């Protein structure tokens, strides 16, 4: 099989781990050829730093690791150039118009990584049997990682002074990732798996004792009941991101590069 020529957008908590692994040859069949970032990286990046337009000439696969804005601005252009796109910031897909355009675009193909949550493959399989009656997600993180510009002083005060868990927001998978663009991509990923943004009820909880980030997914329907719970260590450089996320991206890359023995 041909070697996938990969460009990474974003040299942060996710991009650094993914890019370093690629540069060290730890993903057979995939080669890091360039990095796109709006900051000058110098020798910090193990491949050439180029513009987005240049990357589309060099790569056959772009990995988005820089936030929802990149998906909105560049997603269709990447796919229209014939380059494949692997999206980590699935929260961008809460914009259904954007999601439809990306899925219809081409000749490049769009893929999504499951990130910090498991069980999405099973939820997709169950969805084929019929719609699920109830789907919920509870995400719990350290208060400082959930602070947002739209929060009023009363909520911020409750979060900062809390001795225990504080519910920060309750809504659907359509609503929550818009309010927490760097912290709740998991909600959009669950909604992608079940096929309905409005069917997934999401609670975001701030807990000063949350030394691990937790996601609890529960779903039920005529064909069964399902519960998945994960507890991750936050990334030390960016606590809003779970430490496991770049490794989920690497697993996705290994699948796209044709590694045998993968669970699909």
* DSSP characters over the chain: -PPEEEEEE--SHHHHHHHHHHHTT-STTEEEEEEE-SS--GGGSSSEE--HHHHHHH-SEEEE-S-HHHHHHHHHHHHHTT-EEEES-GGGGGSHHHHHHHHH--SS-EEE--TT---HHHHHHHHTT---SEEEEEEEE-HHHH--TT--HHHHHHHHH-SS-EEEEEEETTTHHHHSTTT-HHHHHHHHHHT-GGGEEEEEEE-TT-SSEEEEEEEEETTEEEEEEEEEPBPSS-TTSBTTHHHHHHHHHHHHTT-TT---
Taking residues 123-151, report their average pLDDT. 93
pLDDT in tens, 104-127: 998 999 999 888 888 999 999 998
Identify the CATH assignment for 4-114+244-256 out of 2.60.40.420, 3.40.50.720, 3.40.50.2300, 2.30.40.10. Answer: 3.40.50.720
Rounded Cα distance, 55 and 5, in Å? 10
CB 183 within 8 Å of CB 245:
no
* DSSP characters over 24-65: TT-STTEEEEEEE-SS--GGGSSSEE--HHHHHHH-SEEEE-
Q: Mean pLDDT for the chain? A: 92
Domain spans of the chain?
4-114+244-256, 120-232
Answer positive or negative: Cα dihedral of 12, 18, 24, 29: negative
pLDDT in tens, 191-240: 999 999 999 999 999 999 999 999 999 999 998 999 999 999 988 888 88
Whether 11 shows a pLDDT value over 90: the answer reads yes
What pTM was estimated for this model as a whole?
0.90
Q: What is the pLDDT of residue 43?
A: 80
pLDDT in tens, 62-90: 999 998 899 999 999 999 999 999 999 99
Give the residue, 170 or 259, on which the prediction is more confident. Answer: 170
Whether 187 shows a pLDDT value over 90: the answer reads yes
What is the assigned CATH class of domain 120-232?
alpha beta
* Percent of the chain residues topping a pLDDT of 70: 100
Based on its alpha-carbon atoms, the radius of gyration of the chain, rounded to whole angstroms, reads: 18
Q: What is the pLDDT of residue 236?
A: 85
Nearest partner of 77 among 110, 48, 49, judged by Cα: 110
What tokens appear for 114 in the block?
A: 């499951």
Nearest partner of 195 among 115, 132, 139, judged by Cα: 132
Q: What is the pLDDT of residue 242?
A: 86
* Percent of the chain residues topping a pLDDT of 90: 75
Please give the distance of CA 223 from its chain centroid, rounded to a whole number: 28
- The residues annotated with a catalytic role in the active site are 215
Rounded Cα distance, 9 and 14, in Å? 10
- The residue with tokens 């044709």 is 258
Phi, psi of 263 (to 5 degrees): -85, 120
Q: How confident is the model at residue 145 (pLDDT cuts 50, 70, 90)?
A: very high
Whether 1 shows a pLDDT value over 70: the answer reads no
Q: What is the pLDDT of residue 200?
A: 96
């Amino acid at each position: 099989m041909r070697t996938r020529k990969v460009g990474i957008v974003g040299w942060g908590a996710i991009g650094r781990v993914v890019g370093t692994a690629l540069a060290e040859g730890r993903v057979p069949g995939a080669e890091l050829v360039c990095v796109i970032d709006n900051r000058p990286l110098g020798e910090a990046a193990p491949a050439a730093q180029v513009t987005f337009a240049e990357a589309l000439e060099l790569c056959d696969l772009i990995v988005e690791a820089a936030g929802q804005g990149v998906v909105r601005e560049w997603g269709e252009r990447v796919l229209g150039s014939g380059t494949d796109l692997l999206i980590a910031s699935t929260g961008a897909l809460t914009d259904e118009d954007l999601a439809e355009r990306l899925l219809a675009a081409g000749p490049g193909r769009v893929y999504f990584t499951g990130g910090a949550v498991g069980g999405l493959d099973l939820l997709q399989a169950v969805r084929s049997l019929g719609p699920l009656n109830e789907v919920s997600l509870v995400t719990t993180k350290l208060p400082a990682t959930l602070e947002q510009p739209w929060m009023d002083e009363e909520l911020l005060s409750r979060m900062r002074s809390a001795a225990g868990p504080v519910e920060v927001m309750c809504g659907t998978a359509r609503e929550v990732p818009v309010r927490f663009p760097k912290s709740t991509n998991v909600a959009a990923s669950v909604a992608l798996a079940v096929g309905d943004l409005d069917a997934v009820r999401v609670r975001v909880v701030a807990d000063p004792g949350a030394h691990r980030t937790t996601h609890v997914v529960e779903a039920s329907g005529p064909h069964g009941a399902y519960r998945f719970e994960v507890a991750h260590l936050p990334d030390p450089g960016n606590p809003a991101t779970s430490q496991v996320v770049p490794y989920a991206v690497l697993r996705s890359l290994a699948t796209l590069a044709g590694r045998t023995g993968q669970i699909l």
